[in-house]
């Protein structure tokens, strides 16, 4: 009897970690530099882990 082959799908691991989440506005509100909301994720020791932003505020 042969073992079934594993098929990798989706997430193989997940865990909850403590991070600091900050939100701020970026830009000066002109056509070339519109306001946008920026979300940053920081470790507890001050290292920036990730940054997401919305391209344009409505």
String of DSSP letters for 2-50: PPPPP---S-S-------EEEEEEES-SSSSS--EEEEEEE-TTS-EEE
pLDDT tens, 39-50?
999 999 999 999
Can you give the pLDDT at residue 37?
A: 93
pTM for this prediction: 0.65
Look over the chain and give the mean of its residue pLDDT values, rounded to a whole number: 87
- Per DSSP, the three-state class of 29 is coil
Higher pLDDT, 12 or 6: 12
pLDDT tens, 21-37?
999 999 999 999 998 99
pLDDT above 60 for 58: no
């Amino acid at each position: 009897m042969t073992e079934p082959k594993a098929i990798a799908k989706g997430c193989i691991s997940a865990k909850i970690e403590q991070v600091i989440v900050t939100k701020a506005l970026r830009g000066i509100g002109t056509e070339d530099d519109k306001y946008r909301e920026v979300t940053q994720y920081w470790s507890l020791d001050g290292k920036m882990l990730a940054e997401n932003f919305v391209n344009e505020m409505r």
